[in-house]
Amino acid sequence: MNINMHEVIGKQDILMVCFDTLRYDVAVQEEASGGTPVLNCYGGKWEKRHAPGNFTYPSHFAIFAGFFPSPADAHAFKERQWLFYPKRVGTGNVAPEGSYEFTKATFVESLFGEGYETICIGGVRFFSKLNEIGRVFPGYFNKSYWKPAFGCTEKESAAQQIDFAIEKLSAYPAGKRIFMYINFSAIHYPNYYYIDKEKEDSIHTHAAALRYVDSQLPRLFDAFRKRGDALVIAFSDHGTCYGEEGFFNHCVSHEVVYTVPYKHFRLGI
């Protein structure tokens, strides 16, 4: 779906949701089987893209600087649909049509300068503020939050993150523009507990975790829709291995790690 960011910035809220660690093949499998009915309602099919990093930290450095997961098919660099375009960093001085051009270190900081309240609701430890590394990404936002209940070891993390997000949204009048980023940690390991009696993580528990997160999304989308139309950017920052060619987890450059799902859509359309 083509988006003209000049019709969004200053006029609509923006919700960015990262399904941390979600594999493209699992996302497409659940899409086809009807396992993700909420996500299936919006934005057409998942796009196959390549992540800019093979684990959360490098991937998010790129994403917050405008370098989203790139189309998996061969393409010219400037032919991508850029939503947020970083100027004068080797990308050229002419922003692609319809993109939001920014010059700060991240588009998050630029959106704050445009009058947006910028809110981060963390999930994995890189957003926890428990150490200096965990303060880097939250530091891009005007407001940032993390609790152990939002983390990878909490089975109901997505429900608690969304409850918290709705509570925070309720404090702002409809006329105040919001940029909210949520890092959903549920799909990240451990995820075995999303299938009863399972003892180990697997591609099957990975899929069950995605179905769980999808089941929680209606309340979040409804909360934004009540404020008006909103742009939603949904993606994974990297995948993970479950024994493929002997690889496990991520932080390795295996195909299933760097191949991720992506879509963006308007809630009002």
CA-to-CA distance for 51 and 49, rounded, in angstroms?
7
3-class SS of residue 212 = helix
What is the CB-side half-sphere exposure of residue 144 using CA atoms within 13 A? 19
Backbone angles phi, psi at 18, to 5 degrees: -105, 120
3-class SS of residue 68 = coil
Domains of the chain, each with CATH number or no CATH: 5-266 (3.40.720.10)
Structure tokens at 245: 């060619």
CA-to-CA distance for 166 and 51, rounded, in angstroms?
29
Beta bridge partners of 13: 230
Render pLDDT for 44-54 as a digit per residue (tens, 0 to 9): 999 999 999 99
CA-to-CA distance for 150 and 127, rounded, in angstroms?
10
Type and span of the H or E element at 216: helix 203-225
Render pLDDT for 134-170 as a digit per residue (tens, 0 to 9): 999 999 999 999 999 999 999 999 999 999 999 999 9
Output the pTM of the full model. 0.95
Selection from 104, 118, 130, 123 nearest residue 56 by Cα: 123
Task: Compute the C-alpha angle 241/243/245, nearest 5°.
Answer: 100
CB 207 within 8 A of CB 26: yes
Beta-carbon contacts of 253 under 8 Å, excluding residues fewer than 6 positions away, are 54
- Per residue of the chain (269 residues), give pLDDT as tens: 789 999 999 999 999 999 999 999 999 999 999 999 999 999 999 999 999 999 999 999 999 999 999 999 888 776 788 899 998 776 667 888 899 999 999 999 999 999 999 999 999 999 999 999 999 999 999 999 999 999 999 999 999 999 999 999 999 999 999 999 999 999 999 999 999 999 999 999 999 999 999 999 999 999 999 999 999 999 999 999 998 888 888 878 999 999 999 999 999 85
Residue 42: count of CB within 10 angstroms of its CB: 17
The order of strands in the sheet holding 178-184 is 70-71, 47-50, 259-266, 230-235, 13-19, 178-184, 117-121, 143-145
Which pLDDT does position 189 carry in this prediction? 94
Selection from 21, 71, 66 nearest residue 46 by Cα: 71
